[in-house]
Amino acid sequence: MSAEQVRNPPVRRLADWSASRLRGLADEHGTPLYVLDLDRVRENYRRMADAFPEAEIYYAGKANTARPVLQALADEGAGVECASAGELARVLDAGVEASRVHYTAVNPPARDLDIAVQLADDHPELTVTAGAEDTLDRLAERGYSGRICLRVNPGVGAGHHEKVATGADAKFGVPDNRAADLLEDAAERFSVVGIHAHAGSGISGDDLSAHRELVGRMGELAREVESRGLGLEFVDVGGGFGVPYRSDEDPLDLDAVASATREALGDISADLAVEPGRYLVADAGVLLTEVNTVKETPESVVVGVGAGMTTLARPAIYDAHHEIRNLSAEDATRPDREVTVAGPVCESGDSFGDYWLPDPARRDLLAVGNAGAYGYEMASQYNSRPRPASVVLSGDEARLARRRETIADVTAVELEEQR
């Protein structure tokens, strides 16, 4: 490992977290508890910026919109990619400069467009990424004539699960072969500044050829558009940089991805832009949860924990694997045992899966790894279960980023007369 890799390793494993610090946080704030280390977020950003020194980096805020995360990344120089009017409003409110904010409008509801156009009135430096001709018309109808980026469907998708491979899904972007004409038309009504494509999420080294193909097509399109006399500020090749969810999995070779990107893009005058979400926050976060029940059955030992699919939805939705560590049994006195770790929701999908863990006992504290991305963001109140708290760390400091919800928060939206 180089000195730089020692200072800023390409991955932080679940085993690298301090058990005593995590136990202290669980004691203070209760569980389930999301913990996110801002120092690691900054390290991840710096590694990305080092690999792509020539690129503009837009953090895909959907991975984790906690205000301190948005602010830490903006301080590092990142822009933010927003997926909805809500994210847009929060990102601007967190103080991110509008010139560093992109709003990706995917089949945007009218309410989202109304808000986005209103916000763009106050912040004309905002960029809206449209993925359909119809979205351009709807923006124009609302009097929008500002900065537009066109999302293209590159026809190549990749990702950790079919549900997150967007590149070849007709839902996203305008067809590749229509893009240049649409951009020319759009230039009559808007200030056309960029083109965009996103292959999917959780791309591994094995998907490099899909990535190369996508970037290559974007390079061709940029050259075609430039030859028609349209100057572009940027070519955005999306996010999707994967992280190792298993302890024996290698981290993505970011330098290899960056050089493949450069090579495939070829010569263009526009700047390169990338939109990493997961890569910046996943390994900066853990989810702490307590063992409620240990049940021996003829088939397996079921370890019931407080966190479930309402806390971390990824295992239930994508069959995603997250490493688990028993923080209460670190002294090697308890033998490992194969157990099924399951949540408190009455659905069989509410399970983290099977693990070998130091024999879990009631009240043990477990840590779930790589929970910084798409964890809290996808949490729900299903079963009238309040969402957990989340704490952010910075150096030795820990502060509450989101307090634990109460049942009163769950019912707060009900109308008085219905109570």
Report how far residue 195's alpha carbon sits from residue 285's, in angstroms, rounded to the nearest whole number: 32
Closer CB to ligand LLP, residue 192 or residue 316?
316
**Which of the ranges 36-44, 45-53, 118-126, 273-281 carries the binding residues for ligand LLP, by CB under 6 A?**
273-281
Report how far residue 169's alpha carbon sits from residue 197's, in angstroms, rounded to the nearest whole number: 12
The residue count for the chain: 419
Is 167 among the residues that bind ligand LLP (CB under 6 A)?
A: no
Least distance in angstroms from the C-beta of 409 to ligand LLP: 23
Phi then psi dihedrals of residue 60, to 5 deg: -75, 95
Closer CB to ligand LLP, residue 81 or residue 290?
81
Known active-site residue 346: yes
- Which tokens hold the place of 196? 């965009």
- Which tokens hold the place of 15? 């085993």
Closer CB to ligand LLP, residue 83 or residue 305?
83
How far is Cα of residue 218 from the mean position of the Cα atoms in its chain? 23
Least distance in angstroms from the C-beta of 333 to ligand LLP: 36
**Which of the ranges 92-100, 118-126, 215-223, 234-242 carries the binding residues for ligand LLP, by CB under 6 A?**
234-242
Q: Determine the size of the site formed for ligand LLP (CB under 6 A).
A: 20
Q: Which of 104, 79, 10 is nearest to 273 (CA)?
A: 79
Report how far residue 14's alpha carbon sits from residue 249's, in angstroms, rounded to the nearest whole number: 13
Q: Which of 68, 64, 14 is nearest to 39 (CA)?
A: 68
- Which tokens hold the place of 24? 């202290």
Q: Alpha helix locations (H) across 160-229? A: 179-189, 208-227
| Interacting positions 352-411 with ligand LLP (CB under 6 A) | 374
The Cα angle at residue 241 between residues 100 and 107, in degrees rounded to 5: 60
Closer CB to ligand LLP, residue 312 or residue 327?
312
| Interacting positions 304-333 with ligand LLP (CB under 6 A) | 314, 318
| Interacting positions 277-306 with ligand LLP (CB under 6 A) | 277-279
Least distance in angstroms from the C-beta of 161 to ligand LLP: 7
Nearest-CB residue to ligand LLP? 277
How far is Cα of residue 184 from the mean position of the Cα atoms in its chain? 32
Residue type for position 135: T
Least distance in angstroms from the C-beta of 213 to ligand LLP: 17
Report how far residue 403's alpha carbon sits from residue 419's, in angstroms, rounded to the nearest whole number: 25
Least distance in angstroms from the C-beta of 295 to ligand LLP: 29
Catalytic residue among 110, 346, 408, 413: 346
Closer CB to ligand LLP, residue 25 or residue 208?
208
The β-bridge partners of 37 are 393
Closer CB to ligand LLP, residue 167 or residue 358?
167
Closer CB to ligand LLP, residue 29 or residue 322?
322
DSSP output for 256-280:
HHHHHHHHHH-S-SSEEEE--SHHH
Residue of 60, 80, 273, 287 interacting with ligand LLP (CB under 6 A): 60
x/- contact string, 170-199, with ligand LLP (CB under 6 A)?
A: ----------------------------x-
Least distance in angstroms from the C-beta of 350 to ligand LLP: 16
Residue type for position 357: L
x/- contact string, 94-113, with ligand LLP (CB under 6 A)?
A: ----------x---------
- The one-character DSSP state at 413 is T
Report how far residue 195's alpha carbon sits from residue 264's, in angstroms, rounded to the nearest whole number: 16
Active site residues: 346
What residues line the site for ligand LLP (CB under 6 A)?
60, 63, 81, 104, 164, 198, 201-202, 238-241, 275-279, 314, 318, 374
